[in-house]
């Protein structure tokens, strides 16, 4: 067994993260401060607006009262609500239907509008998208 060398040899790491860490320890090379974009502009929009998100969640919660009569589940659980666009004086809700010619489309759209207007104190526009509904989006497997 003499003369057999181990196939595993220690080599210098070629990973970029390792070389960055080595340069950072030695004082040469990049610093995390230079890689991060820190905006000091007071006019810049915040990355996360808690009040806006709370309003979106309140709208979604109110839309749980809108039930598709054919399936018996609400529009949120069925993943029919695709987007909520909040504005200062109007809100738009983009949604799809379970079938292209849903006989309950008119009443469901009106219910979505009424439920959303109960949360916000301004006009709500409901837009139907041409996207097809897929039961897998709602976690349904038949």
Contact 104, 70 (CB under 8 A): yes
Strands, DSSP E only, in the chain?
Answer: 67-68, 73-74, 81-86, 90-95, 123-128
Contact 97, 108 (CB under 8 A): yes
- For the ranges 3-12, 35-44, 122-131, the maximum mean pLDDT occurs at 122-131
- Alpha carbon 104 to its chain centroid, in Å, reads 28
All structural domains of the chain, each given as residue ranges with its CATH number in brackets, are: 50-138 (3.30.300.130)
- Arithmetic mean of pLDDT, 112-121: 95
**pLDDT tens per residue across span 56-67:** 999 999 999 999
pTM: 0.65
Q: How confident is the model at residue 29 (pLDDT cuts 50, 70, 90)?
A: very low
112: Cβ contacts below 8 Å, ≥ 6 apart: 63, 66, 75, 81, 93, 95, 126
């Amino acid at each position: 067994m003499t003369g057999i060398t181990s196939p595993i040899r220690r080599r210098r790491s070629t990973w970029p993260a390792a070389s960055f860490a080595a340069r950072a320890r030695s004082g040469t090379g990049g610093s995390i401060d230079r890689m991060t974009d820190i905006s000091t502009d007071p006019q810049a929009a915040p990355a996360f607006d808690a009040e806006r998100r709370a309003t979106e969640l309140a709208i979604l919660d109110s839309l749980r009262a809108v039930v598709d009569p054919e399936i018996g589940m609400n529009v949120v659980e069925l993943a029919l609500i695709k987007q909520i666009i909040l504005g200062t004086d109007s809100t738009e809700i983009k949604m799809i239907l379970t079938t292209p010619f849903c006989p309950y489309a008119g009443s469901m759209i009106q219910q979505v509008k009424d439920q959303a207007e109960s949360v916000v104190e301004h006009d709500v526009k409901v837009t139907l998208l041409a996207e097809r509904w897929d039961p897998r989006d709602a976690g349904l497997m038949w």
